[in-house]
Chain A
């Protein structure tokens, strides 16, 4: 965790954070006991003075296409506080999905830093980033990305299976099943537990994906065009669900969309234009 400790000093660094130290402990001891299950309202347990939960500082990212280097992000600054629902909008190719991937540690920036709870996370070793994605971030995608070989219930349980060893998972399987069933009930899929993804409609698949993203009790939900592949009405249902999760469970949500009407339902909108942030009121 050398990278985390020698992160550049700054306002994010100055506040010691209980959750981050838990995270770092768990990273040091990957096979050890999992972190304590958070309360029903995870964020409420340590209310703070509105500092950013997740932030990007001067992030650069470019892709190499054949011989040309295509800059995508050119110094993006972004921050989101706990409990916020932020939409990132922009045209195709403006870099909004890239920014989301960087925030979710699926990719690393060429320059700049990503901070989570005040600790730099973009340069963590891959093992630590895996744990971060597994236990602290939930992700949903435009194409749902459920595993086709698994049932709805198993898809929802996948993060649990990944995060725990075979033995521990097996010991607690009843509890896991119960929680997954409750989550699927929450998103309105109680009747689809044993269906394979190809037997579900688009809206149902997205609901299952949301349930999967929530099963690890994440602090943050990263949504990449969650309504992009759905009709208006189904998309609206998904948005209502996200809105409700944000309001009732105080879930922090970063959502990427190209649809202004969808973006308008978020607390705040960040517009990306040619790789730079254009703040919108």
Chain B
């Protein structure tokens, strides 16, 4: 009883000790905030990294890909059993994207992916990042009339028709000017004759001409090339306008035509050559993962196989370069990967089998490393706070030497004296980490408001939207982490009071009573 009473009274009357646990409070609060934010970032990043990737990627090393994908898919299904919930074949090749903006050619380096419209949506979240709502529901490589995301402005068939009309009108104008100039040149040499009809010599309306020409001539205003879906950042540049508003400026949008140049899959013995083809942009996608948004371009699988010469002329079997597999949620990806690797050993098959985490391994490992190091550093802060408690407690024990003598003279055992100071340390640790926990949780809950306040006060943007996709700081509070941090801090406070408590317990009662 006296132990509780005394440690309670010491807690109430020794404010210097409370000062010594402020560092525990701060340490606990910081640990909780950092862990919640890092966990939030990690989960957000996992979501985005995983975004358009399937769970498992089965890749062929060779440019020609793996022949007979159906046999492979059947084998994979046999190996993995009913874990597989979706599987699709793709062709992935490096490619050069080029398009004209105001007469200037712009090129982008892209990862060209040939996907199967029917099955690709089964293996990843790709379709939900598309900017046309109908495409989100059902993927299609046909240009839509309108209804694209409002950011794009005018897009679709309406835009394409207007653009073609405008371009043709401009061409028409140019030709007329040219014709006038040519007509005038001889007139300057000779005396001017009567002015010619400026329209003379110009073919009739090109529209009617195209119509008249039937299906042979490609009419831009009415037809499209094979569709391509580009990443948002492939097609746009992001900048900040003078009003401090961040905008995406679109270099090309659905309805524009682009050129894609990619290597062919050569027959044995010949070197690959570059193959170019025209495509029409039918949609953009935004996964908010800049690495994906700035490198991927998607085209229909069959078309890419045909263009690259991946279809066997005799058997009509088309090769693919990779097979994407989605597993049932909660499946052990590494085990599935290892099972596939056993079925297709690396020394017999030139295949690479990876989980999406393997593909993004370095990035995930870096974030993990960051979290670990931050945790170690912050826990060291709490450990330093432990030494502060140790020093304060030694002072308090010295100050309380006579009280210890009195307690011993009244028959208190050494263990009782020791537990006074241990429970004092425990209650200090509890108060310190409790306040820290509440403060940390409040900080995490109101972190976006705090960031907004800081922005107002300092005038410095915490999250520059030209750099980050996050509009808000993502946070995830893990109860287990919070509990561990609090328990760890209390343990440090108790450990720090062990030495002073031992010293108090070992005091000789006579010496302690004589202590002035």
- Closest A residue to B8 by beta carbon equals A149
- Closest A residue to B410 by beta carbon equals A159
- Closest A residue to B411 by beta carbon equals A134
B85 within 8 A of A: no
Q: Which residues does chain A contribute within 8 Å of B413, judged by CB atoms?
A: 126-127, 130
Tally chain A residues at the interface, Cβ within 8 Å. Answer: 32
B1 within 8 A of A: yes
A159 to B416, CA, bound (A): 13
Q: Which residues does chain B contribute within 8 Å of A107, judged by CB atoms?
A: 508-510
Contact of B410 among A127, A134, A170 (CB under 8 A): A134
| Contact (Cβ within 8 A) B510 A150 | no
B6 within 8 A of A: yes
Report the stretch among B236-244, B362-370, B401-409 that lies at the interface.
B401-409
A148 within 8 A of B: yes
Contact of B1 among A104, A131, A170 (CB under 8 A): A170
Contact of A158 among B2, B508, B513 (CB under 8 A): B2
| Contact (Cβ within 8 A) A162 B410 | yes
A78 within 8 A of B: no
Closest-CB distance, A201 to chain B (whole angstroms) = 19
B217 within 8 A of A: no
User: Contacts A101-B510, A161-B5 known; A133 to B409 CB distance under 8 Å?
Assistant: yes
Contact of A132 among B2, B403, B411, B513 (CB under 8 A): B411
Closest-CB distance, A116 to chain B (whole angstroms) = 14
Q: Which secondary structure characterizes the binding site on chain A?
A: helix
B174 within 8 A of A: no
| Contact (Cβ within 8 A) A106 B509 | yes
A104 to B4, CA, bound (A): 27
A135 within 8 A of B: yes
| Contact (Cβ within 8 A) B5 A154 | yes
Tally chain B residues at the interface, Cβ within 8 Å. Answer: 25
| Contact (Cβ within 8 A) A133 B513 | no
Q: Which residues does chain A contribute within 8 Å of B2, judged by CB atoms?
A: 158, 161-162
Number of A-B contacts defined by CB within 8 Å: 73
- Closest A residue to B508 by beta carbon equals A107
Q: 0/1 per residue, A122-140, Cβ < 8 Å to B?
A: 0000110011111100010
Contact of B408 among A106, A146, A159, A212 (CB under 8 A): A106
Closest-CB distance, A261 to chain B (whole angstroms) = 26
A interface list, Cβ under 8 A from B = 101, 104, 106-107, 126-127, 130-135, 139, 141, 145-150, 154, 158-159, 161-166, 169-170, 212
| Contact (Cβ within 8 A) A158 B403 | no
Q: Which residues does chain B contribute within 8 Å of A106, judged by CB atoms?
A: 408-409, 509-510, 513
A165 to B2, CA, bound (A): 9
Closest-CB distance, A132 to chain B (whole angstroms) = 7
- Closest B residue to A213 by beta carbon equals B410
| Contact (Cβ within 8 A) A145 B405 | yes
With A147-B406, A149-B403 given, can you name 4 additional A-B contacts, CB distance below 8 Å? A127-B413, A150-B5, A164-B1, A212-B410
B414 within 8 A of A: yes
- Closest B residue to A160 by beta carbon equals B1
| Contact (Cβ within 8 A) B412 A162 | yes
User: Contacts A101-B510, A145-B402 known; A166 to B411 CB distance under 8 Å?
Assistant: no
| Contact (Cβ within 8 A) B513 A145 | yes
B151 within 8 A of A: no
Q: 0/1 per residue, B12-28, Cβ < 8 Å to A?
A: 01000000000000000
| Contact (Cβ within 8 A) B414 A149 | no
Closest-CB distance, B377 to chain A (whole angstroms) = 38
A154 to B8, CA, bound (A): 13
Closest-CB distance, A50 to chain B (whole angstroms) = 28
| Contact (Cβ within 8 A) A149 B410 | no
